[in-house]
Amino acid sequence: MYTRVPDPRISLTAKGWEDAEACGRRIHELILSDGADDWKVYFYVSPYKRTLETLRGIGKAFEHERIAGVREEPRLREQDFGNFQDREKMRAEKAIRLRYGRFFYRFPNGESAADVYDRITGFRETLRADIDIGRFQPPSERTPNMNLVIVSHGLTLRVFLMRWYKWTVEQFEGLSNLGNGGMMVMQTGSGGSKWFSLPGRYSLLVHHSHEELLEFGLTEAMLVDQEW
């Protein structure tokens, strides 16, 4: 498909639709497990056709009144591989990338993971500002039980986690891609200690086991950071 269809216009397969709908059901169940009755969900989505379709698949699990909003966010797009892709040339380029380094290698006429990092840095600042000002609902309708879902692509999501948690390039290069329809869940932990009662930072360990995160590529040192 990549040789003749622009990457942003590639659609989901039938299996992709099934994965998206199953992911929506998992997210819905996860939110319900919190026990709140005034929850809402807000989506940020890459403008690529397959991510927009993924969002529609996920959205089938939610009643209309539970969806606070959707924002199409171009900074969440897939890594640019350089327009149409020649199969043999791309195979050679990916072999070179392994020697050069997965983070810094830039595809001809395309992007490196480092380039994606730069635009994700801007998105992160937007996201933090949105959270701080509570832009997801009018003031009279705000609920603290707001769930944010980012519908994006494998490398972009890994770079987002790298930027959020300040992981190093070496740590990033040890991460695996999520499977199609996969998800990583960040939630504020109980945090604090006997000295403090402040809430913890967003952690992956609230909803993922040590074993899951080790399989994803986190090191023991990265897990220690998640624990507090």
Angle (CA) 159 165 170, round 5°:
60
pLDDT confidence of residue 192: 43
Rounded Cα distance between 62 and 66, Å, is 6
Identify which of 148, 153, 117 has the alpha carbon closest to the alpha carbon of residue 135.
148
SS3 55: helix
DSSP string, 68-102: EEEEE-GGGSPPP--SS--HHHHHHHHHHHHHH-T
- Measured in whole angstroms, the distance separating CA 109 from the mean position of its chain's CA atoms is 25
**Four-residue CA torsion sign, 26, 28, 31, 34:** negative
Nearest-angstrom CA–CA distance, 43 and 25: 15
Q: Note the pLDDT of residue 65.
A: 94
The mean pLDDT of the chain is 91
pLDDT in tens, 78-113: 999 888 888 888 888 889 888 888 899 888 888 999
- Domains of the chain, CATH where assigned: 7-166 (3.40.50.1240), 185-228 (no CATH)
What is the pTM for the complete model shown?
0.90
Query: What's the pLDDT at 47?
Result: 98
Q: Which residues of the chain are under the pLDDT cut of 50?
A: 191-198
51 burial class (0-12, 13-18, 19+ CB within 10 angstroms)? buried
pLDDT for residue 130 = 92
